[in-house]
Amino acid sequence: MRSWGLNTLGCWSDRSLQLDRKTPYVLISSIWWQSSGHRKFPSPFRENFQSDIEKNLKRLSWAKNDPYCLGVFIGNELEWPDRIGKKIMDLQSKHPTKLWAMKELKQLGVDTDNPSEKELDQLYLPFVQTFFRKCKAAISKELPNTLFLGCRTHRGPNILGQGAIGNVDVFSVNVYDSRVRSWQVPPDADIPILAGEFHFGAVDRGVPSPGLSGSWDQRQRGFSFAHYLASALVEPRFVGVHWFQWLDQSASGRQDRENHQCGFIDVTGKAYPEFTEIVSKVTKKVYEARTMKDNSTEKILHELIK
């Protein structure tokens, strides 16, 4: 890892490497909320919402006050709807979120006998703020002085970025694309952003699928990595990018049949030298490139690969 310039252990990394305390690492605490069949939709108004998070965080107590622990994520790629009005309307009348929504609408002077989706949509921001605030409170209680790295947003509206401000320490977003982006965070918001997942695969060898962002061969994989890194270095709010994942997935697929060629090494433990040679070259220049003046993604990319 060090020879390839990898300076952080990403999400779900090996516990023994974290306990080795030689490389900074991140942690995740996940609870799988269920609500009206909508997988991974959070319900921050459940009576035991925060206490459940605290209970899960207790399992990570070994990392308390560890300077190598960069922070903790709460959940992964939760299913945030574009608008919340219809979602709330479809909830049962005694659902905690439904009860909270009706109480809020009453305070706004809205007739709660037949509220519209539009009227319920205006509750999305306080809903998101409550989620992030309670997550932060749980972390502060069980893992004090540990950064709250957000919930690894994948899809979702910009209301998530607005709600995170003041409640998370770092906003995390999983971006499988040619460059980093985070439309959820307002352009003028002063908040650090972390790309929690990205990868590039290729079809020249290895398992059948090139992953969510494909390249022609291993050399192009390396240049795709360099371009993605350059796009993060030019954005001052981006403080890191985490590759997914260390090892290629099995050709027969994991439980959801995903079988991507997305590793630094293949399933036999062998590296892809054309890829890792470029990665090693560009990661050595990240700090110098970050401080370049009058920079752009293209200028930084040129500096990284020249």
- Is the distance from CB of 227 to CB of 301 less than 8 angstroms? yes
Q: Establish whether the linkage from the previous residue to 249 is cis, with ω within 30° of 0.
A: no
pLDDT for 299 equals: 96
Give the tens place of pLDDT for each residue, 260-305: 999 999 999 999 999 999 999 999 999 999 999 989 999 999 999 9
Helix axes 297-305, 273-283, angle to 10 degrees: 110
Give the tens place of pLDDT for each residue, 135-190: 999 999 999 999 999 999 998 899 999 999 999 999 999 999 999 999 999 999 99
> Hey, CA dihedral for 256, 259, 30, 79, is it positive or negative?
negative
For the record, the structure tokens of 243 come out as 């590759």
Instruction: State yes or no: pLDDT of 32 exceeds 70.
Output: no
DSSP tally for the chain: helices H, then strands E: 11, 9
Instruction: Give the DSSP H/E element, type plus range, for residue 34.
Output: strand 34-35
pLDDT for 42 equals: 86
Output DSSP code: residue 148.
B
Which structural domains are found in the chain, ordered by start? 15-305 (3.20.20.80)
The model's pTM: 0.94
- Is the distance from CB of 234 to CB of 227 less than 8 angstroms? no
> Coil, strand or helix: which one is 135?
helix
